[in-house]
Structure 1
Amino acid sequence: MVVSSTTTTVTVVSLFAVLLRVLVSLGPYSGESTPPKYGDYEAQRHWMEITLHVPPSQWYRNSTHNDLSYWGLDYPPLTAYQSYAHGLLFLNSSVPESVALHSSRGYESPKSKLLMRSTVLSSDLLIFFPSALYFVYAYRLHVSSVNGNNAAIGWQLAMILLNPCLILIDHGHFQYNSISLGLTIGAVAAILSRHEIVGSVLFSLALNHKQMSAYFAPAFLGYLLGKCLRRKHPIFEICKLGFAVLGTFAVIWFPYLHSLEAFSEASVLSRLAPFERGIYEDYVASFWCISSIIIKWKNLFSVQSLKIISFSTTILSFLPSMVHQIGAPSDMGFIYSLLNCSFSFYFFSYQVHEKSILLPLLPASLLALEEPFAFSWLVHYGMLSMYPLLCRDNLILQYVTLLLFFVLIYSSLDGSGPVMKRDFFSIRKALMALSLICSMSLHLVYLVVQPPKKYPFLFEALIMILCFSQFLIMVIHTNIKQWRLETPSRISKSRKNI
């Protein structure tokens, strides 16, 4: 009976998550009918066109058939392979004109739109959904300090699958973040289940799909290294994981590794690090963008200097979290470290986008049972930080609807009982209310009030300042929580069990 009830809960949550994705995909997307470059939808379609008609050695190289100034590939090879597979299986077989070389730019027929949307949904169903389910069960067996009842399983799965930020970006704006994020969740679940080689391979695949997965790399490195150092043959354990990672990278990068000439000509690495765009582009809730209101970083420093400054501050900010896991690796500490390290990159790394908030939100969703309030707060301000982008995409209706659904489900499916209530009714309620009033006001003001001509991006700046302040408060909280997780007695006990 318990198994049947759990299966029913998981099925209902999953089907509802699919339904929301389908409904959002019926709406507009990035760059719809807006030449000359359209938007992210066109970028993904164009990559299918290029990978279908140009040999792999030319995918990242400027040529007559591959104009890099028009949505050139700027993600690792696994994204290119994914584009090839989607183009071949979905579009080329049914609407070949939608991926025809040169002549298909801006192609937007109803059938091709349906097929393009289907590629995103199928990616979710094949990778993100199974990974989320795998994590929920691994978490219940190995990590959870909350009662692993049926309601808790359903609620935690809902928090991962119904994250409105991910649904809006992938199924509204149009991207494939569910692939790299799904591979990362699978890697976390495998490691928690003590299948560390499998986890290392999955995370290597995530890195080879989107380079922003490196946001999680210090947490993986700290936890796995800390575990290996406590085993009987630490060097052997480290080598096993190292070979798994190197082997995965070698397979993915094979077309560019058979000769130094091919590797240099492909220019893959230069495409993955677009430093020419500056330390930040649009308004985003990162340290560099917010502080630029006072310190004009781009005027004061060269690109080379900014790369060094950004690199150094990023390392310094994630180092405490990583060092903690090397010294006292624990399953819960690992998940907290994923959140803390990813926020270090979001705050301080070079060229952060609005959509990058999806990376810290992933481990926040994995911590939903332990940190229900922190997760919901980050979702709210993660949504707000992407609000200007989603307004430009005409996704306001979808934005409001998904946010309301999330609040309703978060409030009604109380899977963690007293933990959630204790967090929600805290003494900080007055400050929280004030922050929410500011957030609601900015939502409305951005839509109906014209900014002063002298400051055309005033409201974007105010939104990002508010979001940055909330993110910073939560990061301080979660870093403190990570360092308080292990007492000396618990550390020594956990070492015996490794």
Structure 2
Amino acid sequence: MIDKPWLTIVAIASALKLLFIPAYRSTDFEVHRNWLAITHSLPIDRWYYESTSEWTLDYPPFFAWFEWLLSIVASRVDPAMLVVSNLNYASNACIVFQRVSVIVADFVLAFATRTYCSTLGVASSRRAFTLAVLILLNAGLLIVDHIHFQYNGLLLGLLLLSIARLKQERVLEGAFWFAVLLNMKHIFLYVAPAYILYLFRSYCFQDTQRQTGWLPRFSTFLPSRLLRLGAIVTAVFAVSFGPFIAMGQLPQVMSRLFPLKRGLTHAYWAPNVWALYNFADKTTSMLTRSASSRPSTTGGLVGDVEHVVLPSVPPIAALLLTTVSILPGLVASWRRPGNFRLFLRGLVACAYGSFLFGWHVHEKAILLVIVPLSLLAVENVADARNYLVLSITGIVSLFPLLIRAEETPIKVALCLAYYLFSSGTLPSLFRDEAKVDEGREKFAAINAPSTTLLTTWSRLYLCGLALLECFCTLAYPFTSLADKFPFLPLMAISVYCAGGVCLTWALFYRETFAMYARSDSKTE
């Protein structure tokens, strides 16, 4: 992609983000202000012990150092924001500084997007432009980072840069950036299995592309490559955790990073399998008039809760289900080493499975599925169709994060604009593809110029999603149920969106198996 379109997209995105500076701010704004104060005002040996605020530091060390770097600039803008005891401090200077820091950090995502788009080739300029818009103007990312407040653009930029380096066959650099990412935010452990398998199978064995068995020929194993790979990853983790290990604080740091007592689901259910499970339990308990003395899953609390009728789910069950859910995607990548598209599918499969079955998943984690899937969506019609439904479902599932009525027109306008762009541009990428793809008559029919990506079921589903959002936003607050069941709209949106995410997951795997079969037939 040439520089001018890319710069135009970045400029439009940045200008739009600046407009959101005075918008609603969630508690995450105070979380990051507090982390600025902790890393600036306290010695390193107190970072992971400080608990003046309930929003304690619970990200890996590299993100703590990132906050420390920001605090150096913040000290010149408004030193009061760096006082640990100044809880919920939000002066105008503090607000502008933190908002702008997210916008500046997003340039990592902009650079990574340009890097990945350059791998698509000069002939794919339309694909590159479409992909750049899908990522840099992603409505979900705008809502979460620039209204609600977080730094997901920076983190997803590191992920995308790592993926781009792997596609460019700069394997060690790709591994380096992913190791850095893990030490910025540990949620990316979700996709680590895809990286581990791909790097080990493709980089540490020679000429394994022609292998058809489950195991590589160990005569082709290259221990020197494994040592280089291990040295880079170990060095990154040593720099990150080394100081805390030296101070004997590793157990304390790990307890902050992995607080398993937070419960199966977040206070606002992420639209996954456990939202459906909670709904089934709640519905059954109401029908059978069962009761429990322990906190309810719809109580709006974070922590251990129990199901009333259905068995309560322990962390090990969530781990086992997550593992089972990602295995098919990993197997495909294992049996086709060096196949970058299957690696990407394995990565998306890991993100999907972890989101659907993981323990205490936050609703914002849907971005970890949507952004990598966009890389596939611009190159495969089935993935484009899937992406269109998943992205809109994911964006709507994030709407309840913005609780003020003032932001309703903004989030609706962002979602609608994103839908119109993606539904208008993605089909055009595939209209001519069938002409050069021999033996795929069905594909040609699907991609006739007059058709859209939406099938009948997807149109009906998205219409239902729009109607549900209208009811929850415009009608429900004025009904007699609003005071009695304040969490009903949250539950309805979570459950309905969970159905859409589960269905797109099944369709994603159907295309993965089809792609694997096509790859298998070509190999043989």
- Normalization by structure 1: what TM-score? 0.87
- In the TM superposition, what are the counterparts of 1:92-491 in structure 2 within 5 Å? 92-102=75-85, 104-125=86-107, 127-138=108-119, 140-141=120-121, 148-228=123-203, 230-231=205-206, 232-259=220-247, 261-264=248-251, 267-281=252-266, 282-295=268-281, 298-299=305-306, 306-329=314-337, 330-369=339-378, 370=380, 371-392=383-404, 394-413=406-425, 416-418=429-431, 421=447, 425=451, 429-448=455-474, 449-450=476-477, 452=481, 453-486=483-516, 487-488=519-520, 490-491=522-523
Q: Report the CA distance shift for 1:69/1:273 in structure 2 as closer, same or farther (over 3 A).
A: farther
Q: Deviations over 1:286-336 (max 9, x none)?
A: 212221222479436999971111111111111121122111131111112
C-alpha distance in 2 between matches for 1:150 and 1:179:
25
Q: Report the CA distance shift for 1:93/1:154 in structure 2 as closer, same or farther (over 3 A).
A: same
Q: CA deviation at 1:410?
A: 2.3
Structure 2 counterpart of 1:488, one-letter code: D
Structure 2 counterpart of 1:326, one-letter code: W
Q: Report the CA distance shift for 1:413/1:11 in structure 2 as closer, same or farther (over 3 A).
A: farther
Larger relative contact order, structure 1 or 2 (CA cutoff 8 Å, min sep 6): 1
C-alpha distance in 2 between matches for 1:207 and 1:242:
15
C-alpha distance in 1 between matches for 2:405 and 2:340:
39
Q: CA deviation at 1:227?
A: 0.6
Counterpart residue number, 1:79: 63
Q: CA deviation at 1:423?
A: 10
C-alpha distance in 1 between matches for 2:205 and 2:413:
49
Q: Report the CA distance shift for 1:444/1:481 in structure 2 as closer, same or farther (over 3 A).
A: same
Q: Is the 8 A contact 1:124 1:178 kept in 2?
A: yes
C-alpha distance in 1 between matches for 2:450 and 2:358:
32
- Normalization by structure 2: what TM-score? 0.83
The farther-off stretch of 188-197 and 427-436 is 427-436
C-alpha distance in 2 between matches for 1:60 and 1:475:
37
**SS, match of residue 388 in structure 1:** helix
Q: Deviations over 1:387-411 (max 9, x none)?
A: 1112358532221221232133324
Structure 1 counterpart of 2:32, one-letter code: Q
Match of 1:8 among 4, 7, 12: 4
Q: CA deviation at 1:15?
A: 1.5
Q: Report the CA distance shift for 1:428/1:82 in structure 2 as closer, same or farther (over 3 A).
A: closer
CA-atom RMSD, angstroms? 2.5
C-alpha distance in 2 between matches for 1:25 and 1:343:
32
Counterpart residue number, 2:293: none
**SS, match of residue 264 in structure 2:** coil
C-alpha distance in 2 between matches for 1:413 and 1:95:
44
Structure 1 counterpart of 2:62, one-letter code: L
C-alpha distance in 2 between matches for 1:215 and 1:398:
31
C-alpha distance in 2 between matches for 1:168 and 1:80:
24
Q: Is the 8 A contact 2:112 2:157 kept in 1?
A: yes
Q: Deviations over 1:223-249 (max 9, x none)?
A: 222213541443332332222111111
Matched, 1:53 2:52: no
Q: Deviations over 1:92-145 (max 9, x none)?
A: 11211121231x2222121221111111011001x111011111112x14xxxx
C-alpha distance in 2 between matches for 1:319 and 1:96:
50
C-alpha distance in 1 between matches for 2:6 and 2:452:
31
**SS, match of residue 249 in structure 2:** helix
**SS, match of residue 339 in structure 1:** helix
**Which runs of 5 or more structure 2 residues have no equivalent in the other structure?**
207-219, 283-296, 298-304, 434-445
C-alpha distance in 1 between matches for 2:447 and 2:40:
53
Structure 2 counterpart of 1:110, one-letter code: N
The farther-off stretch of 425-434 and 394-403 is 425-434
Q: CA deviation at 1:374?
A: 1.8
C-alpha distance in 2 between matches for 1:278 and 1:247:
34
